Structure 1
Amino acid sequence: MMQLRNKWILITGASSGIGEVFAWELAKRGNHLILVARSENKLADLAKKLKKEHGGQVEVIVNDLSKEGAPVKLYQECQERQLDVDMIINNAGFATHGFFEQVSGERQHEEVMLNVMSIVDITHLFLPGLLKKGSGAVINVSSTAGFQPDPYMAVYGATKAFVLSFTQALWEENRTRGVQFLALCPGATQTNFFNVVGTDDASVGKRDTPERVVKVSLRALERGQSYVVPGFQNYMNAQISRLLSRKQVLRLVGGLLRPRNK
């Protein structure tokens, strides 16, 4: 089990929400951070506060991971700065909501690039280094949306299903090689996620706090789990596809996510 102290930890989507809370929690535990997001001002402000509060080293890398080649640039930047990454938290992602053909195709392409391809590319680039050391960890942020198809959030649900499957496969591949993998699958959480989506119609159930989501995920990592769903109700919701037919699941989820003005 990886000891989370004095490690270099790379966090994408670090400027707010779950990513920011990961940064605070891991800095508090005595680690050094590489914060990655698009917003330079937010990252710089967060880095300043973290260093003042906890004293660890904090590096800021501004990068839009929805763009082609962005993960390679991120890896090269870490190499140039001689940052020896011990752990990766692939947290960056966003969702779209509405009838598939009515949502911007360009926006949905960016959604796939960020939610899927950036995780695949970052993991592929950094994993050899972790394996060479024989230790390390990767937390990929999926969602309860990844446990079943999601009408009106078709692309988002599909991307999160990919992340869950991808992460669990790598958990098995690497469980005897010293590198841990964990798929974090939160339900609705109190972040700016729904502001980015542009509607609350995509919110199902009571929203969890990012602080609790982060603590649950780190406990799951310590236990060597391949995935974790924070919250009992979220866990039960994630298992519904095992209890109902696929048609019933689609009707149920579609009814919950259908835009209210349609």
Structure 2
Amino acid sequence: MKTYTTLISPAELRALSNPLIIECSFDLADTEAGERAYAAGHIPGAFYLHLDRDLCGDKTAADGSFRGRHPLPERETFAATLRRLGLPPGRQVVAYDRQGGPYGAHLWWMLRWLGHAEIAVLDGAWEGEMSTDVPTATPSDWQPGEPLVSQIDAATLLKKLGSVRLIDARAAERFRGEVEPLDKAAGHIPGASNRFFKDNLGADGRFKPVEQLRAELQPLAADVVVHQCGSGVTACHNLLAMAHAGLGDGLLYPGSWSEWSSDPRRPIAKG
């Protein structure tokens, strides 16, 4: 049976046998909107994971510093969540959201972080029946493996500024520092390039063809590419796009701008 590791179409999903489907729709301005949408109707058999409750850890570090708006949970905590959903080794997982894939891509990165390679994001809107039934899972004894992806922390990134390629997935006006609706300060990390995550999508809401993504993203490729955004979520959309285009795996800075801008000692650029 074919394994999907980046994107999967609705038709390909319908043809799968026993995938683990997870919806992770979310709205930063209305944090319960995704769960309400799931309750109103979702892909049959899909579970729901909430960004704040299920996919994030403590926002405050042991030393009292701010870790960002959506810091990663402990690996074992997230592994326990996946066991609760009945994940066994090798099972195809399909993540989706209703916002063009940023939250699905975040879940894609997180499963790879726990060593599970059989994870893909639904490309485009589901085309088929919907269900309001909440599935029942049989918990598994699944254990995480070696990470398939890498990350970088703020202190290490600060030391490496100027020697790594840094890509910011936020909208251009936030990147330039013209507006900042969510975080402590406006602007971006010095040396970063801007690639708004929605630029990975075509007018139909699906990811652009591989050849087009590769042509657009190739100029941003480098030996070391660090991806960030506001809080480490939409950056995963760029990570997914680059992986799908065959441009390799970069590093995620999970704390992203929300963590970076919380410390006035860190440098900020605008424009």
Same-fold status (TM-score > 0.5): no
Q: TM-score, normalised by structure 2?
A: 0.34
Q: TM-score, normalised by structure 1?
A: 0.35
Where relative contact order (Cα < 8 A, 6+ residues apart) is larger, the structure is 2
